[in-house]
């Protein structure tokens, strides 16, 4: 009896190889723009978008654990805060890093397929509107409206022809920023108190250092990124080989 999953099922098709190349190009572009003084400004809205997903992930985890969400605020310097009452901190604290990584992984996964990209765009649009509901400062409101508008525009242009590239870029940016955010907050200590340091205090009263928790969250986030690509290659093979196959 032949195995259900074979080795060749994870070999990229020509279309998938092109998508992998585009992901590589996006990573190079992000790295260059991230480190060049005047080009950083171009990435700023996308960074704020990812910070919004981070804070929204806190809020979603809070709602799922019985918290009352009071507000979400994002600063121009890319800092953010989700204020809530109640909930379970051991779930809500890691939800920011892990949740934004999951959002990024979802977008990368869907970025391998046009129909999946349209579905993902709808999900992200709803999340942005949810973020707008909790927004308490102008940056969140403006960025939310801008990205909802961009998603709508991409869906309209030439039958959503360019939407797949936009969703893919948002996914790469979200994953990259989330991974770097963990390094900056936990390893480089760019801020006085991170989600990891707060988590370390409430979990066994600091017996496990924040750096250890940060390392675990980094591994989880990186695993989500790799898994999203592997699953996309496996899931969307038939559609690439047979364009008439529906997602």
- Strand runs labelled E in the chain: 68-74, 80-85
How many other CB atoms are found less than 10 A from the CB of residue 192?
6
pLDDT beneath 70, residues of the chain: 1-9, 159, 185-193, 204-206, 238-247
Q: What is the DSSP letter of 1?
A: -
Q: Residue ranges of the domains in the chain?
A: 14-235
- The token pair at 40 is 């950083």
Average pLDDT in the chain: 83
Q: At what angle do helices 114-134 and 163-182 cross, to 10 degrees?
A: 60
Please give the Cα distance from 237 to 5 (Å, whole number). 13
pLDDT at 1: 42
d(CA 230, CA 122): 23
Q: Facing residues of 71 across strands? A: 83
**Beta bridge mates, 115:** none
CB 94 within 8 A of CB 199: yes
63-84 per-position pLDDT tens digit: 999 999 998 888 888 788 889 9
The neighbouring-strand residues paired with 72 are: 82, 135
Q: For Cα atoms 171, 174, 178, give the angle at the middle one, nearest 5 degrees.
A: 145
Per-residue H/E/C for 144-187:
HHHHHHHHHHHHHHHHHCCHHHHHHHHHHHHHHHHHHHHHHHHH
CA nearest neighbour of 9 among 233, 245, 244: 233
Residue-level pLDDT at 243: 42
Please state the pTM of the whole predicted model. 0.86
């Amino acid at each position: 009896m032949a195995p259900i999953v074979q080795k060749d099922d994870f070999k990229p098709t020509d279309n998938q190889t092109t998508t992998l190349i585009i992901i590589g190009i996006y990573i190079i572009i992000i790295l260059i723009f991230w480190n060049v003084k005047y080009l950083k400004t171009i990435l700023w809205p996308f960074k704020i978008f990812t910070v919004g997903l981070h804070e929204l992930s806190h809020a979603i985890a809070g709602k799922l654990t019985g918290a009352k969400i009071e507000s979400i605020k994002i600063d121009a310097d890319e800092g953010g805060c989700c204020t809530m009452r109640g909930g379970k901190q051991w779930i809500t604290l890691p939800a920011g890093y892990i949740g934004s990584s999951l959002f990024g992984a979802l977008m990368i996964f869907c970025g391998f397929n046009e129909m999946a990209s349209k579905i993902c765009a709808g999900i992200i649009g709803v999340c942005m509107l949810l973020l707008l509901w909790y927004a308490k400062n102008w940056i969140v409101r403006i960025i939310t409206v801008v990205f909802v508008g961009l998603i709508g525009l991409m869906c309209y242009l030439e039958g959503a022809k360019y939407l797949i590239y936009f969703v893919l870029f948002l996914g790469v940016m979200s994953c990259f920023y989330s991974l770097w955010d963990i390094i900056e907050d936990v390893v480089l200590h760019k801020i006085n108190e991170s989600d990891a340091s707060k988590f370390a205090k409430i979990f066994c009263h600091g017996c496990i250092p924040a750096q250890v928790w940060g390392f675990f969250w980094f591994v989880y986030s990186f695993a989500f990124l790799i898994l999203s690509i592997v699953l996309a290659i496996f899931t969307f093979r038939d559609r690439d080989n047979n364009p008439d196959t529906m997602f």
